Amino acid sequence: MAADQKGARKGTVIGLEKEIQDITNTIERFGTGTPDHIAIISEPMGGRSTIVSEIRRLHGDKVHYLPLEFVISPDSLPDFSTIKEDIILIDNCRFLATRRIGGFDVLDAFLHAQISSKKLFITTWNAFAWQYLSAVMNIEAYFPVIVSIARMDTPVLKQMILSRYEPGEIQFLDEGATDRSMFYSLVHKNVHLPLTKKDISIPWIKSNFTVMLRGMPRKKHIQVSIEDVIFEKINRIARGNPGVALLLWESSLNENTISLASIREIPYDIDLDTNESFILTIILSMKSLHEKDLSAIAGSEMDIQRVLYRLVQQRVVRDDAGYYSIPPFALGPVIEYLKKTRRLW
Amino acid sequence: MADVLLPNVTAELPLKTIDANLILYIILIIVVAYILTWLLSFVLMHISERIGWYRTSVTMIIPLLKLLVYLVALYYIIIAIIEPSLTQMIAFSGLFGAAIGFGLKDLFADIVGGVVIIFEKPYQIGDKVTIGDRYGEVTDIGIRATRIKTPADEQVSVPNFTIFAQPVTSGNAGDLAMMIVIDLFIHPDSDPEKAMKILKEALVTSKYVIISKKYPCTVLLDDFPFYKRIRAKGYVNDLRLEFEFKSEVTRRAWAEFRKAGIRPPAFVPPAGGDPAHAPGEADA
């Protein structure tokens, strides 16, 4: 697709400039002392791959890239001392641990190797796997630099998507929706917690005072850009997830034309028992997992095939030749459901 | 005696004629109040079941609303009978209180107990409590009694006055998560470090557990003459699943113990024999 090529050429890190800068600063600081290992954390499709690509583009000659594709067994953990580069970028570190008895041994070995090494480790983590490991084994103690990718706000999302096209290339169809005033929009604010090193992202209602003041006293007809209304809807459905928003944009686009009506929201009515919720949490934390790994986590007490059938039947999980993952458009509803039922802490 | 003290007031109480209509009216008020409290309980319980994290926050207002409805109903019944002025109302309240004190003191004590429970909140609907020798989930706090559902699925009605006479233990104090203590006993020759690691991993990988700074978990070792005790403390994410949580962790830990060559002791301490034994602990 032409837009992808353009996207690769320009604007790929829009909205992630601060994160890239923090990582670059840490890499440039890295010398002979104890390295400040980096953890890059985001929700599935939240922008980790974009950051990884950018790090490799900027520092490719100094970085050894090691993507993990599946659950790592103790004997398949690489010997990092044999790697000649001083910076090791390990992608998809969620595969270092599984939620079962004995499932933390590989991660323990990795963390021990990391803190014993003089090399700088840059690691990427699924946010939900990270939250679990943080609660269970205080994993953040091993990473002085934690880069959490927050959910994206609508103006940044609009800039990111439109940067893939030439000006005027996309036509926004107005179907009368611009008559609606946009008094409020949902944004995500990064808040620094006192006495901790953590930034947390909280949803925030932003009032569009200009629109309010213009509209209220004189009952003036308010004209809001159809572009803004369309991107507001896309971001609301995607819940600030740039990967999901981009997919929704592409699926709603018809020959470079988009309208509000073409942006479809898939309704989900999720109703799960304890086993199903547990397995869904595991799949969410691992992004994609093979049935045999899920079976090992479920143990003998659980009928994993029945559980997976139920999850697929409710459309919250899809089966790709034995690998189970959550469809992009189901991510938001699944996360909300699991938070409500206390599966995500 | 009341006639001597308050001759004018009682003499002037404008009592209405008690006829069939008045009796029907009073019955109607009681029925409406009863239906209203039942409806409020039903709706709020239904909402609380769907609300996830905040289940107990919703259920805690049920007793308060019930009390409010019954007070309003009582008010309407009183004015339907006597239409009192403020002075008469005060005098009537004194007489009414005296009557309750002599004839209905147990019922009155239960009602006062109910009011104390509502405002002081020693427990709430949805809590796991031990009142006297009864343990279970509080399903309803009424004006007269608290209903508890025991692990054997029995409905026990405990008079509200009991809170004045006996200690009340709430396992979760209004929270949905509850700490569970799981004791496993191993042979004194078995490797305790390996056993602790296995039990900790069985705990933190459970499908029922919740772990955070607010809900920490820990595993402790204690040495006894004929056995070693490995004690795990962790929170179940929904107190209704406490027994499933204990059972799952115990079963998975023992399966791994066997693989690791960790044996049970020859002497197993009796349940409750340990002074630190809490109700409902799982023993192996």
ipTM: 0.81
**Where does the pLDDT of residue A77 fall: very low under 50, low under 70, confident under 90, or very high at 90 and above?**
confident
**Where does the pLDDT of residue B225 fall: very low under 50, low under 70, confident under 90, or very high at 90 and above?**
confident
* CATH number for the domain harbouring residue A115: 3.40.50.300
Q: Is A33 helix (H, G, I), strand (E, B) or coil?
A: coil
CA distance B236 to B176: 9
Closest CA to A23 of A156, A153, A143: A143
Q: Is residue A3 part of a domain?
A: no
Closest CA to A114 of A7, A37, A208, A1: A37
Domain with CATH 3.30.70.100 in chain B: 178-259
**Interchain proximity B256–A103, CB inside 8 Å:** no
Based on the number of CB atoms within 10 Å of its own CB, is A147 exposed (0-12), middle (13-18) or buried (19 or more)? buried
Q: What is the pLDDT of residue B95?
A: 76
Give the mean pLDDT of A211-227: 58
Same domain, A163 and A232: yes
**Where does the pLDDT of residue A168 fall: very low under 50, low under 70, confident under 90, or very high at 90 and above?**
confident
**Interchain proximity A101–B210, CB inside 8 Å:** no
- When computed from its CA atoms, the radius of gyration of chain B, rounded to whole angstroms, is 27
Q: Is residue A9 part of a domain?
A: no
Same domain, A246 and A309: no
Q: What is the pLDDT of residue B1?
A: 46
Same domain, A140 and A158: no
Select the residue of A102, A103, A135 nearest B211 (Cβ to Cβ): A135
- A148, A180, A195 - which closes a domain: A148
C-alpha separations of B166 from B12, B169, B272 in Å: 45, 10, 21
pLDDT in tens, A264-316: 889 898 999 999 999 999 999 999 999 999 999 998 889 999 999 999 999 99
Same domain, A67 and A141: yes
Q: What is the pLDDT of residue B103?
A: 66
Give the mean pLDDT of A75-93: 91
B122 contacts B60 by C-beta, under 8 angstroms: no
Same domain, A33 and A79: yes
Q: Which residues contact A250 (CB under 8 A, 6 or more apart)?
A: none
C-alpha separations of A125 from A20, A49, A129 in Å: 16, 11, 7
A154 contacts A70 by C-beta, under 8 angstroms: no
Q: What is the pLDDT of residue A67?
A: 95
Residue A58 DSSP one-character state = H
The percentage of chain B sitting over the pLDDT mark of 70, rounded to a whole number, equals: 86
Closest CA to A151 of A28, A259, A260, A47: A47
Q: What is the pLDDT of residue A301?
A: 86
Give the mean pLDDT of A213-226: 57
Same domain, A214 and A283: no
Same domain, A160 and A109: no
* Amino acid letter for position A25: N
Q: Which of B207, B208, B258 to mutate to test the interface with A (most CBs of A within 10 A)?
A: B207
Q: Is residue A168 part of a domain?
A: yes
pLDDT in tens, B33-79: 999 998 988 888 888 877 766 777 777 788 888 888 988 998 888 88
Lowest mean pLDDT segment, chosen from A30-34, A260-264, B31-35, B261-265: A30-34
Q: What is the pLDDT of residue A123?
A: 97
Domain B128-170 sits in CATH at 2.30.30.60
B84 contacts B2 by C-beta, under 8 angstroms: no
Closest CA to A108 of A69, A138, A147: A138
A62 contacts A85 by C-beta, under 8 angstroms: yes
- Highest CATH level, class, for B2-120: mainly alpha
- Inform me whether the pLDDT recorded for B3 exceeds 70: no
| Residue matched to tokens 């559902």 | B149
B123 contacts B171 by C-beta, under 8 angstroms: no
Closest CA to A11 of A166, A185, A148: A166
Same domain, A199 and A167: yes
Q: Is residue A7 part of a domain?
A: no
Enumerate the β-bridge partners of residue B181.
B233
Based on the number of CB atoms within 10 Å of its own CB, is A300 exposed (0-12), middle (13-18) or buried (19 or more)? exposed
Same domain, A78 and A39: yes
Q: What is the pLDDT of residue A186?
A: 61
CA distance B117 to B129: 13
C-alpha separations of A121 from A36, A91, A143, B109, B113 in Å: 8, 10, 9, 68, 62
CA-based nearest distance B144→chain A, Å: 33
A286 contacts A95 by C-beta, under 8 angstroms: yes
- Backbone φ and ψ of A110, nearest 5°: -65, -45
The percentage of chain A sitting over the pLDDT mark of 70, rounded to a whole number, equals: 82
- A148, A166, A183 - which closes a domain: A148
B193 contacts B260 by C-beta, under 8 angstroms: no
Q: Number of folded domains in chain A?
A: 3
Does B281 contact A at CB distance below 8 Å?
A: no
Q: What is the pLDDT of residue A142?
A: 96
pLDDT in tens, B248-281: 999 999 999 999 999 999 887 776 544 444 333 3
**Chain B (167-196) residues lying within 8 Å, Cβ to Cβ, of chain A:** 176-177
The percentage of chain A sitting over the pLDDT mark of 90, rounded to a whole number, equals: 62
Does B218 contact A at CB distance below 8 Å?
A: no
Q: Is A253 helix (H, G, I), strand (E, B) or coil?
A: coil
**Interchain proximity B211–A299, CB inside 8 Å:** no
Does B241 contact A at CB distance below 8 Å?
A: yes
C-alpha separations of A143 from A59, A122, B273 in Å: 20, 9, 46
Q: Which residue has the higher pLDDT, B84 or B151?
A: B151
Does B251 contact A at CB distance below 8 Å?
A: yes
**Interchain proximity B205–A103, CB inside 8 Å:** yes
A242 contacts A45 by C-beta, under 8 angstroms: yes
Closest CA to B190 of B138, B139, B130, B265: B265
pTM score of the predicted model? 0.76
Task: Tell me which chain B residues have a C-beta less than 8 angstroms from the C-beta of A103.
Answer: 201, 205
Residue A303 domain boundaries: 274-340
> Does the domain formed by B178-259 have CATH 3.30.70.100?
yes
